[in-house]
Amino acid sequence: MIRDYFKVLLYDLTSGKGTFVRIDGREEIAGGSGLAALLFNSYCNIKENWDNPEQSIIFTIGPLTGYFPLMSKTVCAFKSPYHNQYAESHGGGRSALCMRFADIDGLVITGKAKRLSCLFIGSRNLELRETHYLRGTDVQVSGKILRNMFQGAGHRSILRIGIAGENLSPMACINIDTYRHFGRLGSGAVMGAKNLKAIVIQGDGNFPLVENKDYPKLFQDVFKQLTTTEMMSKYHNLGTTENVAVLNEFKSLPYRNLQYTSDSEIKGITGETFANDALLRNAACAGCPVGCIHIGFVREKFMEENQYLYRQVSYDHEPVFASGSMLGVKNCFSVLSIIDAAEKMGLDIMSSGVALAWATEAYEKGIISEKETIIPLSFGNAKCYKEAMFYLATGANDFYKILSQGTMKAASKYKGEDFACVLGQEMAGYATGEVFFTSQALGLRHSHLDSAGYSYDLKHNDKNVEKAVEFLLNDEKARVFLTSMVSCLFARNIYTNELLKECLSVLGYKNIAENVEKISVQIQKLRWKTRISTGYDPEKIKIPKRFYEIITSKGHIDAEFLGNLTKEYSRRIKSFASE
C-alpha cells in the first residue's frame, strides 16, 4: 500500500495484544533500514540490556517492496546479544512480500510471552498462540509443524528459531522459510529471550494499483534488465560460490582459520563442483525472478541394506567459506553436512564456522584440550564439526557457552586473541586486504555487505587512505538507500539512483524521488547515531594480529595503511554522531 506515513503493528507479548500505529517520517527516512532505526529509537531502551523484555525486535519493509522485482528483503533491527548495541540484519524468503500483503510497513514486537509462543499475523489475523510443545525442536521439525498449524501455503512466511535461539546464543539466527536467514548478531536469541519460537506472517491482502500505464511499463523494463542481461547471471548461474575459486586465485580465501589464503586443492568446494555434483535446484525469494538460492543435498546412510535419508541444504559463498575453507573441509558434501547441522540448530553458519576454526587452532596449539572441546577438533574433519555445532548451540559446557558468546570472548578467556578471526564479529569470507578488513571491522553491521571493501581491495593498488574511506562511506550511503527500499543488494548495479527515482516517482513517492541524496545521508546518519548511542566506539575495535600476518596476491598486509584506514574511518563515523 502506498502511503505517506508508516503503518506499524506494535505487538506486546506480555499482554498478548497488538495495536496499529501511524508513524510519520516517510519522506525523511523512506522505510527499511531508515524505518528500523527510527523505530529502534522509539521502542527500544538504549540503556537496558538486550534481553530486557522492554526491548523490541523490529521488522521493516520499504516503499518499493513488492512493487518491483528484487524489492524482496526485510530489515530486522534489535539490540544485539553479541555486543549489546544496535544491530541490523537483512533477510529475504517470503517475509517481505508477506509483510506487504499483511499491510504493514513495520512490525515491532516487545515484551515477553509467558510460555514459548508463536505470533500469527495477517491482514485479517492477529493471534499469539502458545507453542510450548515446540521447545527443543530443530528448525526443520518446527517448520513442518507450523506449516500444518497455519494455512496459506505459498503466501505465508514462517520465521522461526532453533535450539540456539532458545538457549539465547548470540550466534543464533532466525530462519526464514527454510533457506534464508536473519543471520548475524544474534536475532535468534532476541526471539528466544521473548519466548517467541516463531512468527508466521500471512500475506493475504491485496491493493489497487496506481492508475497509470507508466508503472507496468517501468516494471517490464526493470524485469527485462534483471532477467535478460548478463548483470545478474552470476547469481543464478553458479551463485555466490563462484567467488570461492576467484578468491582462492587471488590468495584472498580464508583458509584453516586464516592461516593461509589459498589452497591448491580447493577444487572440491568451488562453485563449479557444487553445481556439477551437489546442486539439486534453485529457488527464489518471493518477488525475485533471479533465483539465487542454490539448494544442494545431504545424503546419509542410516541403516544397513542401503537405507538412506536425504535433506536439502542451501549454500552460498559465505556458508561454504565458513564451513569449508575456514575449517579445512574440501569436499562439497561434507561442507553441506556441516551447514545442515548448523541450520537445524538455528545457528548462524558464518559465526559458528569461524568460531570452530579458532577452536581448532587453539586445540592444535594446546591452548585448550578435549576437556573444553569434548571431542578432538581437527581441520578437514567434518564429522567433528557437525558434533561441535550441537555443543555450540546447546552450550554443552563452559567452553562452548563462552564460545557461543563470540570467538573473541572465548579467545580472551583462553588466551588466543591473536588468531581470533574477528572483525567486529566473526569474519566474512574475504581476505582481500586492508580496505575490507577496515570495512567489516568498523562497519555498522560488521558485514561484508556494508560496503564493497573487498572489491576495492581487488581493484586498487594505491594506498590512498582518504580515497578508500571516501569510497566506503559513499558506497555505504548508496547501500543504505537501497536497503531502505528494501532491495536485495544483488540488484545494486541495476537499481541506480536514477532508476530508483523513476520507480519511486511512478508510484507517487515524488518527494522521496526528488531527495534521494539528502534522504540517503539522513538514513546513514540516523543509523550511525543509533549505533553509537548504544555504546559503539569504532576506536575501540581491534583488528587481531592474524589479519596482519596474511599474504594476498598483493603481498603482505601493510600494517601502517591498515592502521591509518581504521583511524580515518573511525573519525568519519564518529563525526556522524556529532553532526
Shortest Å, Cβ 230 to other proteins: 15
Q: Taking CB under 8 A as the rule, does residue 40 contact other proteins?
A: no
Indicate the residue among 22 and 124 with the shorter CB distance to other proteins. Answer: 124
Quote the cell numbers at residue 270: 568451488
Q: Which stretch binds other proteins (CB under 8 A): 27-35, 141-149, 319-327, 457-465?
A: 141-149
Nearer to other proteins, 171 or 504 (CB): 504
Q: Does 143 bind other proteins (CB under 8 A)?
A: yes
**Segment 167-186, which members bind other proteins (CB under 8 A)?**
177-179
CB of 216 to other proteins, least distance (A): 6
Core vs surface per residue 514-547: b (16+ CB within 10 A) or e: ebbeebbbbbbbbbbbbbbebebebeebebbebb
C-beta of residue 8 within 8 angstroms of C-beta of residue 102: no
> Candidates 32-40, 197-205, 392-400, 564-572 — which segment interacts with other proteins by CB under 8 A?
197-205
Residue 303 near other proteins by CB under 8 A: no
Pairing of strands 86-91, 57-60: unpaired
CA dist., res. 411 & res. 474, Å (int): 34
162 by Cβ neighbours in 10 Å (0-12 / 13-18 / 19+) ranks as: buried
Cβ pair 233, 291 in contact under 8 A: no
Task: State yes or no: residue 265 binds other proteins (CB under 8 A).
Answer: no
Shortest CB 330 distance to other proteins, Å: 27
Distances (CA, A) of 489 to 2, 202, 532: 23, 25, 25
Q: With binding defined as CB under 8 A, does residue 149 bind other proteins?
A: no
Q: Quick check: 47 binds other proteins (CB under 8 A)?
A: no
Choosing from 154, 461, 540, 579, the residue that interacts with other proteins (CB under 8 A) is: 154
Of 354, 355, 391, the residue nearest 372 (C-alpha): 391
Burial class (CB in 10 A: 0-12, 13-18, 19+), 501: middle
On whether the CB atoms of residues 7 and 104 are closer than 8 A, the answer is: yes
Question: Which region among 201-209, 320-328, 443-451, 519-527 touches other proteins (by CB under 8 A)?
Answer: 201-209
**54 touches other proteins (CB under 8 A):** no
Helix (H, G, I), strand (E, B) or coil at 123: coil
Shortest approach of other proteins to residue 490 CB, angstroms? Answer: 14
In contact, 200 and 174? CB cutoff 8 Å: no
Any contact of residue 240 with other proteins (CB under 8 A)? no
Task: Enumerate residues 6+ apart whose C-beta is below 8 A from 144.
Answer: none
Least distance in Å: CB of 323 to other proteins? 20
Site for other proteins in 508-567 (CB under 8 A): none
CB of 462: closest distance to other proteins in angstroms?
41
Cβ closest to other proteins, residue 286 vs residue 557 = 286
Among 91, 203, 395, 416, binds other proteins (CB under 8 A): 203
Alpha helices per DSSP H over 80-176? 95-101, 139-149, 163-166
- Contact with other proteins (CB under 8 A): which of 312, 331, 455, 511? 312
- Give the β-pairing of 196-202 and 117-122: parallel
Question: How far apart are CB 177 and other proteins at their closest, in Å?
Answer: 6
Which residues in the 273-292 window bind other proteins by CB under 8 A?
281-291
CA distance 463 to 559: 11
Spell out, one character per residue from 116 to 135, where the chain touches other proteins: x when CB under 8 A holds, - when not: --------x-----------
Among 44, 76, 97, 128, binds other proteins (CB under 8 A): 97
46 within 8 A of 37, measured Cβ to Cβ = no
- Closer CB to other proteins, residue 45 or residue 282? 282
Is 161 a binding residue for other proteins by CB under 8 A? The answer is: no
- What lies within 8 Å, CB to CB, of 189 at 6+ separation is 50, 51, 81, 164, 165, 167, 168, 169, 170, 172
Give bridge partners of residue 299 from the DSSP assignment: 310
491 binds other proteins (CB under 8 A): no
Output 177 or 242, the one with its CB closest to other proteins. 177
175 vs 180: CA distance, rounded Å: 6
CB 309 to other proteins: min, Å: 13
By C-alpha distance, which of 280, 325, 273, 316 is closest to 298? 280
219 binds other proteins (CB under 8 A): yes
**Judged by CB under 8 A, does residue 52 bind other proteins?**
no
The CA distance from 534 to 210, in Å, is 41
In angstroms, what is the minimal distance from the CB of 540 to other proteins? 42
Q: What distance in Å separates the CA atoms of residue 261 and residue 284, rounded to the nearest whole number?
A: 32
Least spacing, CB of residue 287 vs other proteins, in Å: 6
Residue 93, Ramachandran bin (φ over 0: left; ψ between -120 and 50: alpha; else beta): left
225 makes contact with other proteins (CB under 8 A): no
- For the CB of residue 206, give the shortest distance to other proteins in the complex, in Å: 3
Stretch that binds other proteins, among 107-115, 148-156, 301-309, 554-562 (CB under 8 A): 148-156
Is 7 a residue that touches other proteins (CB under 8 A)? Answer: no
| 550/468 Cα distance (integer angstroms) | 20
| Binding residue for other proteins, selected from 144, 383, 510, 518, defined by CB under 8 A | 144
Would you say 231 or 295 has its CB closer to other proteins? 295
Note the residues at the interface with other proteins (CB under 8 A).
66-67, 69, 97, 100-101, 124, 143-144, 147, 153-155, 177-179, 203-209, 211, 216, 219, 223, 227, 281-291, 293, 295, 312
